[in-house]
A and B are shown apart, each in its own frame.
Chain A
């Protein structure tokens, strides 16, 4: 009589193999989705390039995101603001024509949000700018991006907030009610 568990385990190998392959598949599928469809860099209605504007032409962030220094939200520039320059600049490029279309139809541009916080988070741009935080600390090196995206260095997660609050020894910076509403 055989009492060893080894042969019994051997008999289980095919089944175990199937399970292992399923698990491996899960990981691969998850990774594939994350890698190829991250959703952190959606295609925008107009292929606006921060690289050209903020990087090459060195337009300051708050030239367009004017609200940032006085409001909780940074705000996106109005279509008229875009047209302020693009009435003159690069008017013939296809993307600028798109912009012109929006402007002529008096329609807003339906940008897709990339840097988004959940609704239960109170984040105020004003205070952070007043404290001298660079935009890039949370938004990543946008001036190098053709298409805006979330980066691993600035993933818009709570850990990032906490680290910074700890490093800078923000008063009551670790209290939940400083940020959660």
Chain B
């Protein structure tokens, strides 16, 4: 040991301290962070820590009205699944329905009442209290009602059903306003009108896909977003492989292959707008071949005389052989079913097309039969489809506003600024002195409102629903809050009730909360009797509905139906009309409601933005689909930015070369192109902007597929964000099929390659 002098000692002491310090800090850094354990002040009754609670309620993400079960843990919603006892969803649910959680937990939700402080559209809002906001609106309402000027109040809602719709009716009625409208971009007006024309009732029948053996779909993307996709999918699956003896066959007729087209056994592209003509061509074949033997056979022969197979083949571009084959299969396969909608119904001849489709069902006599078309009974609760505003009605509303006939406009969840083409709706809104929005989100229309009274999401509020179409019998379901409200928002119904109260309408609208209103409404259903309701009290009836989430009345309609001769005589499908000349605008624009984002209201849900489009696998963006041959001629490749110009505007989007679209047609998904709808939604372009204001002549519904466009390459390109790599199989037999090449020489048995197992 050497002598340690003073300097060495100091060195050693220094070294020692450094070591101690470092050692101390080392353990400090690897220490487990302290967490807190926060107990309840009072233990809640409805949940236990660590145990999931399920609530049955109703999905509001589209108009199908699926029953859902929401899993909650510690008071937070975790997962949405289909309610197994609900006849529409039967325990299943689509992607959009499950993304409902992100409506609830959306970071861009409005957290409390707002008042516009700057110029409209400037986006400057100030927070106000509920009382301030409600007072301001209620005072105006009261004033107008007192002056008998109630009709100067406009109520514009998204499509709502059940007692909320009834509440709006009551409210409008008491205010003295006739301007109560529901507006949804994808509401099937033409289908209601066609059914009214053919069957005499403006209601949707139940399409029994489950039991059908042969389905002809004219443009209806029944698996994507037509009417009730989850229920249709259930039917599709069962029809395909759910029965031991038969397998349903599906034929899809549309200019651009949709999801349903891909699932179909046969995809046929008829010229856009001629689907109805094709339907009549099929009808002609059925009648002329003597497969139809009804009493009105001669009327049909006369009515269909102009639709011989060859004529129709020429008009539609579908081969005469195909027409014959399909017609024969359709009539010989029992039961068979024809449905129509989507793009086929969005032409100037929309109603006529769908009437022609109904005629096919009539001619094979599948009405009221399993696997055919079944009439629905009267809904048990309030219905509202007659309030649905067509495009023409909306134009009238806009015109009224411009005339200064509207003093107050109350908006509920609908977004016409985004989804109403060429209507000058923004200018019309500018003429309305007070705009009130009850939306939960800052959508494009809400951004123009003066006062925003944000609603609860559907997972926080009371409501009920009577699905339209029903499932062949009458059902209703109650929607209940599954979590306590996240923010300082109120249920739409409660806002309306409060407004009514403050506007002095409490005599006619005495309820204090939406829950009471709904409960009173259901008391009527209870009183109507039926089933075993007499045995139990209303309270237990109510509780059992809340528990099950659904109530049903197994009463079926009498399928008897006689067709008016005048309908047969007037049956005809005029050729479709398009905006823009075919010389200047060589392409027909086929805008379709996006499977993931719907008509755009789901664009603020990150799960839906990140869900690859089923057909193209594109995420987060807009694109325009072009036939490969056309793209080749125009020297366009995937990702090339093109300008799409119609007589009404111009947008820019990247090209996606789509193998299953007709030459001469280009397709674009609707849903993107938001500007104020939050961090996830503000991207892409909105093809609604360039649609022409052409309507279906009979209903005034927007003929959204009737716009011609031209495309111009910009010379710039972007990388399309998508998940798919190479979309061809290269003979690798990844998706194997029973038909064709792959089935030969390849055993369908498991373990076709023997595995040697060494015995030990």
Contact = CB atoms under 8 A, between A and B. Distances in A.
* Whether chain A touches chain B in the assembled complex (some CB pair under 8 Å): yes
A42 B2 CA distance: 46
A25 B19 contact: yes
B41 A25 contact: no
Interface string A92-123: 00000000001100111111110010000000
A78 B19 contact: no
Contact of B23 (A17, A28, A39, A81): A28
Interface stretch (A1-9, A66-74, A134-142): A66-74
A42 B40 contact: no
B109 to A, nearest CB: 26
Contacts of A75: 39, 48-50
Given A33-B27, A67-B49, A72-B50, A112 B34 contact: yes
Interface in B22-54: 22-28, 31-32, 34-43, 48-51
Given A22-B15, A79-B40, A29 B32 contact: no
Interface in B9-29: 11-12, 15-28
Contacts of B36: 110-113
Contact of B24 (A21, A29, A67, A110): A29
Contact of B41 (A80, A112, A116): A80
Contacts of B34: 39, 42, 112-113
B536 interface: no
A77 interface: yes
Which secondary structure dominates where chain A touches chain B? helix
Contact of A30 (B12, B18, B23, B48): B23
A164 interface: no
B50 A71 contact: yes
Nearest to B1: A13
Interface residues of A, number: 45
A76 interface: yes
A27 interface: yes
A34 interface: yes
A132 interface: no
| Chain B interface category by residue count | 20 to 34
A67 B22 CA distance: 43
Given A13-B2, A73-B49, A79-B42, A26 B20 contact: yes
A129 B11 CA distance: 58
A67 B20 CA distance: 44
A159 interface: no
B8 interface: yes
A116 B36 CA distance: 10
Contacts of B22: 22, 25-26, 29
A111 B28 CA distance: 21
Interface centre among B18, B24, B25, B26 (most CB of A within 10 A): B24
A23 B26 CA distance: 13
B48 A18 contact: no
A26 B35 CA distance: 28
Contacts of A112: 34-37
A73 B268 CA distance: 58
Contacts of B32: 39, 116
A22 B21 CA distance: 10
A62 interface: no
B42 A80 contact: yes
B29 to A, nearest CB: 10
B193 to A, nearest CB: 54
Given A13-B2, A76-B37, A116-B32, A25 B49 contact: no
Contact of A25 (B17, B42, B48, B51): B17
A133 interface: no
Contacts of B50: 67, 71-73, 75
B20 A28 contact: yes
A162 interface: no
A78 B40 contact: yes
B552 to A, nearest CB: 34
A21 B41 CA distance: 53
Contacts of A79: 39-42
A59 interface: no
Contacts of A21: 12, 15-16, 19
A34 B49 contact: no
Contacts of B11: 14, 18
A110 to B, nearest CB: 5
A69 to B, nearest CB: 11
Contacts of B21: 25, 29
Given A13-B2, A32-B24, A33-B24, A111 B19 contact: no
A25 B15 contact: yes
Contacts of A39: 31-32, 34
B26 A111 contact: no
A27 B24 CA distance: 9
A88 to B, nearest CB: 18
A79 B34 CA distance: 21
Contact of B48 (A26, A31, A70, A108): A70
A179 interface: no
A29 B20 contact: yes
A131 B36 CA distance: 28
A18 B41 contact: no
A90 interface: no
B39 A111 contact: yes
8 closest A-B pairs by beta carbon, nearest first, are A25-B19, A29-B23, A71-B50, A29-B20, A26-B23, A73-B50, A29-B24, A30-B23
Given A28-B20, A29-B21, A103-B41, 13 more contacts: A14-B2, A17-B8, A26-B23, A26-B26, A28-B23, A33-B27, A70-B51, A71-B48, A75-B50, A76-B37, A79-B39, A80-B42, A113-B36
29 contacts: A17-B8, A18-B12, A18-B15, A21-B15, A21-B16, A22-B16, A22-B22, A23-B19, A26-B22, A26-B26, A28-B20, A28-B23, A29-B25, A32-B20, A33-B24, A37-B28, A71-B48, A71-B49, A71-B50, A72-B51, A75-B39, A78-B41, A79-B41, A80-B42, A80-B43, A108-B41, A110-B38, A111-B37, A112-B35
